[in-house]
């Protein structure tokens, strides 16, 4: 079946602009995660959603970052007033709650100029 | 929070040799231990995982071993091939309320020399 998809694949924006990144998880996966990966670095957890529970926002680096998940499926990560240090690849992953294994999307490469 | 360390950070092996990457973690409540492989410019992919009720799991040329007492688990790759070249991440997790919060290590860059 279809894997996790993300859009856009690449986004170049000017400092100070807002951006929205989209994630479509694997159908039936109730858990959805957002991570950030800077060049040559590991994965930094941002936020996760599980079913109808309140999201865990503990990894969000500032209040400029927010995320929503509508209808328990598609999620949007919004970064307001982008800064150059926000430049990174933003990865989304989904999983079956019962299994644990997370399956990643291809990521969105964000470049803030 | 969970502290995760991987060793070594880089590893070069000759094709056909074995490679071992070790991951240590701090949270004794962790009960899920996956390894991810990330090729250059691609997404991380789950390659093997183990849960705390078993000590070893094998899948063809890869295996994961777990020592919960010492709080470490290792990835073993035998008969390495050039296509094994990638960055490998461990991501121990605790399953609380049914969701697995992964904490990723900084990665180990494996180079397999033909």
pLDDT in tens, A6-58: 999 999 999 999 999 999 999 989 899 999 999 878 899 999 898 888 888 98
Q: Residue B100 and residue A102: Cβ atoms within 8 Å?
A: yes
Q: Which residues of A touch B102 (CB under 8 A)?
A: 33, 45, 102
Q: Is A95 helix (H, G, I), strand (E, B) or coil?
A: strand
CB neighbour class for B60 (10 Å; exposed up to 12, middle 13-18, buried from 19): exposed
Indicate whether A98 pLDDT > 60.
yes
DSSP class of residue B83?
G
Mean pLDDT along residues A74-79: 97
**Distance in angstroms (rounded) separating the CA atoms of residues B16 and A86:** 41
Q: Which residue of B has its CA nearest to A32?
A: B99
Q: Residue B99 and residue A50: Cβ atoms within 8 Å?
A: yes
Residue B67: phi and psi, rounded to 5, are -125, 95
**CB-based contact (8 Å) between B47 and chain A?**
no
Q: Residue A91 and residue B105: Cβ atoms within 8 Å?
A: no
Q: Residue A101 and residue B34: Cβ atoms within 8 Å?
A: yes
Residue-level pLDDT at A101:
84
Q: How confident is the model at residue A105 (pLDDT cuts 50, 70, 90)?
A: very high
**CB-based contact (8 Å) between B107 and chain A?**
yes
Q: How many Å lie between the alpha carbon of B51 and the closest alpha carbon of chain A?
A: 10
Q: Which residues of A touch B99 (CB under 8 A)?
A: 31, 48, 50, 97
**Distance in angstroms (rounded) separating the CA atoms of residues A65 and A63:** 5
User: What is the sign of the dihedral through the CA atoms of A62, A79, A29 and B88?
Assistant: negative
Indicate whether A78 pLDDT > 60.
yes
**CB-based contact (8 Å) between B44 and chain A?**
yes
Q: Residue A91 and residue B43: Cβ atoms within 8 Å?
A: yes
Could you list the pLDDT tens digit for every one of the 114 residues in chain B?
A: 789 999 999 999 999 999 999 999 999 989 999 999 999 989 999 999 998 777 999 999 999 999 999 999 999 999 999 999 999 999 998 876 656 778 999 999 999 999
Residue-level pLDDT at B78:
98
The percent of residues in chain A predicted with pLDDT above 70, rounded, is 97
User: What is the sign of the dihedral through the CA atoms of A44, B94, B69 and B73?
Assistant: negative
Residue-level pLDDT at B75:
98
Contacts of A22 (CB under 8 A, 6+ apart): A6, A7, A8, A74, A75, A76
Q: Which of residues 6-45 of A touch B (CB under 8 A)?
A: 31, 33, 35, 41-43, 45
Place of tokens 């800077």: A38
């Amino acid at each position: 079946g279809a894997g996790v998809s993300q859009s856009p694949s690449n986004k170049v924006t000017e400092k100070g602009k807002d951006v929205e990144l989209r994630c479509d998880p694997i159908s039936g996966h109730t858990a959805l995660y957002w991570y950030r990966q800077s060049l040559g670095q590991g994965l930094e957890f941002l936020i996760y959603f599980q079913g109808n529970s309140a999201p865990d926002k503990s990894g969000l680096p500032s209040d400029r970052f927010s995320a929503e998940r509508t209808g328990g499926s598609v999620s949007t990560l919004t970064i307001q007033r982008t800064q150059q240090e926000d430049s990174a690849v933003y990865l989304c992953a989904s999983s079956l709650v019962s299994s644990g294994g997370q399956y990643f999307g291809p990521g969105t490469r964000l470049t803030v100029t | 929070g969970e502290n995760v360390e991987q060793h070594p950070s880089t590893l070069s092996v000759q094709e056909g040799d074995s490679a071992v990457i070790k991951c240590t973690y701090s949270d004794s409540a962790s009960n899920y231990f996956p390894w991810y492989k990330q090729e250059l410019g691609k997404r991380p992919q789950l390659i093997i995982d183990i849960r705390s009720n078993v000590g070893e799991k094998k899948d063809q040329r890869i295996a994961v071993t777990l020592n919960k007492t010492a709080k470490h688990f290792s990835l073993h790759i035998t008969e390495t091939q050039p296509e094994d070249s990638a960055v490998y991440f461990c991501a121990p997790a605790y399953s609380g309320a049914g969701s697995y919060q992964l904490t990723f290590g900084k990665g180990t860059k494996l180079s397999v020399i033909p």
